Amino acid sequence: MKHRKVLTILIFLLMFIVLGFAYWLKTNQIPKEDFNAPTKSWSSTKKVDDYFKEKLNFTEKDFERQKQSSTVDFRLYGGSTLEAVISNLQYYGFIRNEKALLYALENTEDKTQGNDEALKVGKNGSIDIYASYRISENMTAWEMADTLLNKGTYFGKGDAYNYMFMP
């Protein structure tokens, strides 16, 4: 009977150590600087200005007006996936590392109830689709995660624009 109790305690202790080590590995695989804000100077495949030029036909005058704001609307529609959201944010230079944002999303408290079609994140998180999010290249991965989980503005399925970014 004593051996069984000792064995049970050892098994639980071993499980605790293994889970702790796995958590440590997961958090330490992502360099801390990858959670930092990329800023405008961060090198990425494209920038949101490229999107505005290609999709919205921005002129130099439009860009001059846009310089007054450091944020843009990031808009999610039906068919959006969590992987696509994260990938687009990295592609356009809003985050440094996809894994860093995913980790931040999974470890940031979601204080809002997601709509029925929301993208599920981790155990309790959700990112609404048919919603817009005010984002910036000056946001850390943690700030981006908080914005996506808690600060969406629902616009509904009837939106006529269907653009990913808006000024």
Element (H, E) at 166: strand 165-166
Contact assessment for residue 100 and residue 35, using Cβ atoms and an 8 Å cutoff:
yes
- Name the pLDDT band for 159 (thresholds 50, 70, 90): confident
Percent of the chain's residues with pLDDT above 90:
65
Q: How many residues does the chain have?
A: 167
For residue 27, the model assigns a pLDDT of 57
Report, as an integer, the average pLDDT of 133-137: 97
The pTM of this model reads: 0.80
Instruction: Give the C-alpha separation, 125 to 111, whole Å.
Output: 9
| β-bridge partners, 76 | 131
pLDDT digits 0-9 by tens, 8-58:
877 877 887 877 777 766 656 899 999 999 998 999 999 999 999 999 999
Report, as an integer, the average pLDDT of 89-104: 97
